[in-house]
Amino acid sequence: MNVEEVLKAKMKGVCRCCRNCDGRVCAGEVPGMGGIGTGSSFRANVEALKMIKINMSAVHGAHSPHTGVELLKLSLKTPILVAPIGGMDVNLGGGLSEEEYNSAVVVGANKAGSIAMTGDGPNLLHFKAGLNATASVGTGIPVIKPRFSEEILERFKLAAESGATAVGIDIDAAGLVNMTKSGQHVGPKTEKELSEIISKSPLPVIVKGIMTTGDALKVLNAGASGIVVSNHGGRVLDYTPGTAEVLPAIARQVKGKLTIFVDGGIRSGIDILKMLALGADAVLIGRPVTRAAVEGGSDAVKELLEKLSNELRTAMILTGCEKIEDIGRQVIYQE
């Protein structure tokens, strides 16, 4: 078997390991690695990024760009973080155990000078695996489903005890069937409910799954430290726009007031440059990291994050950006 066949076998056929991971082959495969329904929201993420063109420029003095960023009071070598992915049993046919997966991504991100978010799911082990990995390196961002408020706060406390840097709520999991089917409540939260949760949190809170300026402003008012502009990789609602389409308007409202993360269909350093130019402070990578983790554990995750950082650095040279903060709208080609 060649490397690709070995990877596919480890993925148990759930992920077809396409050269372009764009949601076409796996449309409708949730549980699995695909997007929900027609798969249009997953594809929209990839397509929205493809539409954007870059202004190439090499007449300047940006010789050795620096990809380091300060986020959530952390100094990171790169603005490329790991997205939370949970449920290896239900989504990946058990190709890796939840513990193995979380260890690979948290340790791999740490080795690359970055940080990983970890997931939550119907089985408490899904959440605990992220906490154990976080405790092993002393940094991580566990993201909790929009459960009853008391349950969220209990999990925030466990996250703080594990050494987490911040915590998250993936608010877009409000209708997640795999949670309700297994008897676990999830649902939307009002600004007031979020505000109460955030005021009692021992750690800064990031709200993941923001796709409108209205929600971004409510989350800002509720006291969050950050948002993730995300449609959950197209896994929760069919026919949403791509995240690159909604990011600019959201950034216009909240940039500088909270940390803006974005994810969805980001596959290269150029994609990362585009998202930063559209207003993100940092990006999260989902499925490609899962593939790396399955392929080669923490070392492969580290290599992937470093490869993307190198691609970003090259893109910065060719757009005249010495620092991450230099990447702005001037980088985007407009006729």
Binding site for ligand FMN (CB under 6 A): 33, 45, 83-87, 91, 119-121, 143, 170, 208, 230, 232-233, 235, 263-266, 285-287
Shortest CB 96 distance to ligand FMN, Å: 12
Shortest CB 85 distance to ligand FMN, Å: 4
| Closest of 122, 133, 132 to residue 90, by C-alpha | 122
Shortest CB 110 distance to ligand FMN, Å: 18
Amino acid, res. 242: G
Q: Going along 177-275, which residue ranges are E strands?
A: 205-210, 226-229, 259-263
**Tokens 């985007």 found at:** 332
Shortest CB 67 distance to ligand FMN, Å: 19
Shortest CB 30 distance to ligand FMN, Å: 8
Q: Which is nearer to ligand FMN, 33 or 152 (CB)?
A: 33
Shortest CB 262 distance to ligand FMN, Å: 9
DSSP designation for 150: H
- Note every long-range contact of 67-73, with CB atoms under 8 Å and residues 24 or more positions apart, other chains counting: 67/309, 67/312, 67/313, 67/316, 67/324, 68/324, 69/281, 69/282, 69/324, 71/259, 71/281, 71/282, 72/165, 72/166, 72/204, 72/225, 72/226, 72/259, 73/165
Q: Which is nearer to ligand FMN, 189 or 320 (CB)?
A: 189
Shortest CB 202 distance to ligand FMN, Å: 20
SS3 content of the chain, % helix, strand, coil (to 5): 45, 15, 40
Q: Which is nearer to ligand FMN, 81 or 318 (CB)?
A: 81
Q: Which is nearer to ligand FMN, 113 or 265 (CB)?
A: 265
DSSP designation for 210: E
Q: Going along the chain, which residue ranges are E strands?
A: 69-71, 74-76, 80-82, 117-118, 141-144, 167-170, 205-210, 226-229, 259-263, 282-285
Shortest CB 56 distance to ligand FMN, Å: 26
Q: How far is CA 17 from CA 93, 106, 176, 255, 260, in A?
A: 14, 22, 25, 35, 29
Q: Which is nearer to ligand FMN, 147 or 232 (CB)?
A: 232
Q: Which is nearer to ligand FMN, 87 or 223 (CB)?
A: 87
Amino acid, res. 198: I
Q: Which is nearer to ligand FMN, 20 or 330 (CB)?
A: 20
Shortest CB 62 distance to ligand FMN, Å: 28
Between strands 205-210 and 226-229, the pairing is parallel
Q: Which is nearer to ligand FMN, 227 or 318 (CB)?
A: 227
Q: Which is nearer to ligand FMN, 264 or 320 (CB)?
A: 264
Q: How far is CA 27 from CA 64, 235, 237, 297, 331, in A?
A: 41, 10, 13, 26, 32
DSSP designation for 240: P
